[in-house]
Structure 1
Amino acid sequence: MNGLNKALSSTIGTKAVVAVTGAILAFFVLGHMAGNLQLFLGQDAVNTYAATLKGMQGPLWLARVVLLASLIAHIMGNLKLRARNQAARPQAYAQKKPLESTLFSRTMLVSGLVLLAFIVFHLAHFTLGMVEPGFYELHDAEGRHDVFSMTVLSFQQPLIAIPYLIAMALLFMHLAHGVASLFQTFGLRTPKWRDGIDLGGRLFAIAVVVGNIAIVLACFVGLIHPAQGAF
């Protein structure tokens, strides 16, 4: 056990923890976006999806615990690496060529901390109902929580839509660099595969961000309307 703790506490071990937890979080945001795209299918599809998830309490809480643990480990690992770098005791990535310094790489910590603040806002908005309590209390004709109308009505508000769009720009930067860093950490971003991995990271980030932005903009410009009599 001491050997494992020592390995995980090393620079390379910490980078591995950051990479693995980053992958968990990245796949979650992809799945979360895909589920939210059901907004384009209408009220019944979204509210059925939300009610189904809410009914799966065991798996839902397990997922929440894993995500929370991953988020904490990801943040703490990055802060630890940052402190070690500032102390001038860097340890190279376990691969042949380091990532080139880019705007995305130089702003990873800042974008990550801003995204953390956004996560808190997002949870306060959709999970706790603290941002728009009136929308949060809506129910559909079947008595289910009307997630569809709550989402549409919320994103029609500029003060809600704009922060979400800004957060998506930062998420793109974070994911595009983070995916490449994941492969680099495990020594897979070799000269042969480097360009393909970097492109894959950007495409992954684009898929997540474009899907989320499409939802916000469709509500904001009126392509998706709240259910009749929702408010």
Structure 2
Amino acid sequence: MVTVGERPAVRVRHTPRPSSVQLKFVMAVSGALALLYLIAHMIGNLKIFLGAEAINTYAAWLRTVGEPALPMQTLLWIVRVVLVVAIVAHIVSATILARRARRARPIRYAHRQPVRGSYAARTMRWGGVIILLFIIYHLLDLTAGTLNPRFVEGDVHGNLVADFAPSHWYATVAYTVAVIAVGFHVRHGLWSGLQTLGRSSAAAQNTIKGVALVVAVLLTVGFLSVPFSILTGLVR
């Protein structure tokens, strides 16, 4: 019974927070989407070795998929939206998990014992920052064209050759650092993601690590083959 002058108690409903398992699942799925995009993007880039017409025709085809039933660039915008959502979900999930890990151990040890883990696992955070910054640079360079020394809409071959020319060597350096960071990120992320999705039996650990390493190396070599072929004059 509520007496005069007293306010009835108000129940505040708190929105349930996602569990750490759910956040790891989101990271695994969003990482898988980003990995599929990287593989498709690398395959498209390698068309530069077939000549200017091949890669320019491929780029034009991407803009016209679905026409006339769908407006021009529909596929590209669907891919862009899905990729942005995946990257945001990946970053948010990683940030929340990192904060929870810090709160779980608020006291810093005077003598911290060495943590067992790979180099890739210990550098996932700064690697993610490098990748995010490079995505912004890459979009301004080869999509918007504002940072490209010679940007011509539709001339993907010419834009790449101008971007990775010897006189523009710093773009090649930035690209190399970012791609290596992607390789480390993919290696650890793929291994971790497969565990999250239920492939973590002891017998499968070596196989998972091997697959993650092979995928990371292939992506790294595939992406870097383009700028270095241009830099050395193999592609003109």
TM-score by structure 2 length?
Answer: 0.83
Structure 1 match to 2:143: 127
Q: Secondary structure at the match of 2:202?
A: coil
Identity, % of aligned positions: 33
Give the C-alpha shift of residue 187 in structure 1. Answer: 2.8
Taking the TM superposition and a 5 Å limit, the aligned residue runs for 1:77-156 are 77-88=93-104, 101-132=117-148, 134-137=149-152, 145-156=154-165
**Residues of 2 paired with 1:28 and 1:177: CA distance?**
17
What is the CA deviation profile of residues 22-74 of structure 1, one whole-angstrom value per residue up to 9, with x for unaligned ones?
A: 01001110110011100000010011011111223222211111000000000
Instruction: Tell me how far apart the structure 2 counterparts of residues 165 and 61 of structure 1 sit (CA, whole Å).
Output: 27
Residue aligning to 1:24: 33
Report the secondary structure of 1:9's partner residue: coil
How many Å separate the matches in 2 of 1:102 and 1:88?
A: 22
**In proportion to residue count, which structure has more helix?**
1
Q: Which amino acid aligns with 1:184?
A: Q
**Matched positions, count:** 204
Runs of at least 5 residues in structure 2 that lack an aligned partner in the other structure: 1-14, 66-72, 106-115
Name the CA distance, whole Å, in 2 between partners of 1:41 and 1:189: 41
- Give the counterpart of 2:187 among 170, 176, 188: 176
Q: For residues 99 and 60 of structure 2, what CA distance do their matches in structure 1 show?
A: 43
Please list, as runs of the form range in 1=range in 2, the aligned pairs for 1:1-231 lying within 5 A after superposition.
6=16, 9-56=18-65, 57-88=73-104, 101-132=117-148, 134-137=149-152, 145-156=154-165, 157-225=168-236
- Report what 2:8 is aligned to: none
Amino acid at match of 1:86: R
Structure-1 separation of matches of 2:18 and 2:25: 10
Deviations 1:168-190 (A, max 9, x none): 11111101101000011123121
Offset, 1:106? 1.1
Structural RMSD (CA): 1.6
Of 100-109 and 29-38, deviating more is 100-109
Alignment match, 2:11: none
The residue identity in structure 2 corresponding to 1:151 is L
Contact 2:56 2:156 in 1 (8 A): yes
Alpha-carbon distance between aligned partners in 2 of 1:43 and 1:188, rounded to the nearest angstrom: 42
Runs of 4+ in 1 over 6 A off after TM superposition: none
Letter in 1 for 2:152: E
User: How far apart, in 1, do the equivalents of 2:211 and 2:86 lie?
Assistant: 23
Runs (5+) with no aligned partner, structure 1: 90-99, 139-144, 226-231
Q: Is the 8 A contact 1:180 1:189 kept in 2?
A: no
- Give the drift of 1:197: 0.3
1:64-119 CA-to-partner distances (Å, cap 9, x unmatched) read 11000000000010001000000117xxxxxxxxxx52211111111011100000
Contact 2:27–2:94 at 8 Å: present in 1 too?
yes
Aligned amino acid, residue 163 of structure 1: A
Corresponding residue number in structure 2 for 1:95: none
Give the Cα separation in 2 of the matches to 1:105 and 1:184. 14
Q: CA deviation at 1:130?
A: 1.0
